Structures are given as C-alpha cells and as structure tokens.
Amino acid sequence: MGIALSKLKTAVLSAFLVVATQAGAVTTGLGLLGTGDTEFSNSFWSSGTFTDYYTFTLGSSSGGVGGSVLTTDLSLFTRDLDVTQLTLSGGTLASTLVDNDASNGFSFNGLGAGAYTMALTVSVGNKATFFSSYGAYQGTIQAKASTAPVASPAPEPADFAMALMGLAGVGFMVRRRRSAR
C-alpha cells in the first residue's frame, strides 16, 4: 500500500479530534530529532492565514533537517489550503532561513547542534458557500546525518609503510654523511 497504516490512523484520528472552534496558531515541541520521521499536523475549520510553530533540538551528529508537508481536504467543498512559507530560526543560524515552496518538501543543510523553531504559515481559503468545511496538513521532519568525515582511530598499514620508508631514507642519508668524513 502507498500510505503507511500508522500515518493513515494519525490523519483520521486528528480529523475526529479537532474542536469545532476557529483554529489558531499552535506551538508544539517535537523534542530531539532523530533520522526517523517525526510527525506534526494541524486542522482548520475556518478561513484565514495561520502560523504554527514547531520547536525541536538537533544533536551534535546532525547536519541538517528535511521533510515534507501534505495538505488534505476532508470536506464536501474545496478548502483551498496552501502552505505559503516555512521558516527556520534559532540554533546556530545567524539569520532566519526561508522556504517559500514547501509543497515538494523542504531541506535545510549545515545546521549545528541546538534548539530551533520552524514556523509554518498556512493560508486557508473558503470556497464553500453554505457549509463549513474542513482542511488539514500533516508533515514529517527528520534530522539528516552529518556528512563530516570521521578520522580513523588507528593508522592504516600504508601509513606505517610510508613512515618506515621515510625513517630508512633519513637513516641512509645520516650514514652516508658520516662515511664521507
């Protein structure tokens, strides 16, 4: 199947747990990100522009974050829900990073260890004329493994051979100079 059963359960559960009041901005802590998917979502019953904030922490072995956002419409009428901007701030960043097209996924590289805030701005239109309709987004985010090279803890045999050849060359030169005197 194309959709994992756990993701389908999460989407259906979030649809039924939504309160019937106007949606507002959420701030959610996602904790320490690993290389596996960490899910985030929100649901909307009314029109407007909303910004949701997700905080997370990257460990020292991470090189960045990546993920995707999927919008859904579970209503009779089209909700016209768009993720208009995704920004990342905090941690080791000197300035805020902005992605204005998160519809094909997002990726932020070169991030150091620290606490970050991801802001997701969502525009919710309302094409319904008689009834309220429901729209939602669900996304995943994961830490990327660091691509920094790791030094070998022990010298390779070729390193030993090169060192021995160098020492032999120096020894030969010293012996030759002594015999020339």
What are 86-116's pLDDT values in tens digits?
A: 999 999 898 999 998 877 788 888 888 899 9
pTM: 0.63
Residue ranges covered by each domain of the chain: 5-145, 156-181
User: What confidence category does residue 117 fall into, taking pLDDT thresholds of 50, 70 and 90?
Assistant: very high
Give me 4's structure tokens: 């994992």
Q: Counting beta carbons within 10 angstroms of the beta carbon of residue 23, is it exposed (0 to 12), middle (13 to 18) or buried (19 or more)?
A: buried
User: Where do runs of H (alpha helix) occur along the chain?
Assistant: 5-16, 157-180
The whole-chain average pLDDT of the chain stands at 76
What's the confidence (pLDDT) of residue 148? 55
Whether the pLDDT of residue 18 is over 50: the answer is no
What are 76-94's pLDDT values in tens digits?
A: 555 577 888 999 999 989 8
What's the confidence (pLDDT) of residue 19? 35
Q: Which residues pair with 100 in a beta bridge?
A: none
Assess if CATH 3.10.129.10 describes domain 5-145.
no
User: What confidence category does residue 179 fall into, taking pLDDT thresholds of 50, 70 and 90?
Assistant: confident
Whether the pLDDT of residue 13 is over 60: the answer is no
Whether the pLDDT of residue 180 is over 90: the answer is no
What does the pLDDT average to over 28-48?
Answer: 85
For 19, which DSSP code? -
What does the pLDDT average to over 54-70?
Answer: 87
- Using CA atoms, how far apart are residues 120 and 31, in angstroms rounded to an integer? 17
Which of 93-97, 124-128, 165-169 has the weakest average pLDDT? 124-128
Whether the pLDDT of residue 138 is over 70: the answer is yes
What does the pLDDT average to over 152-164?
Answer: 79
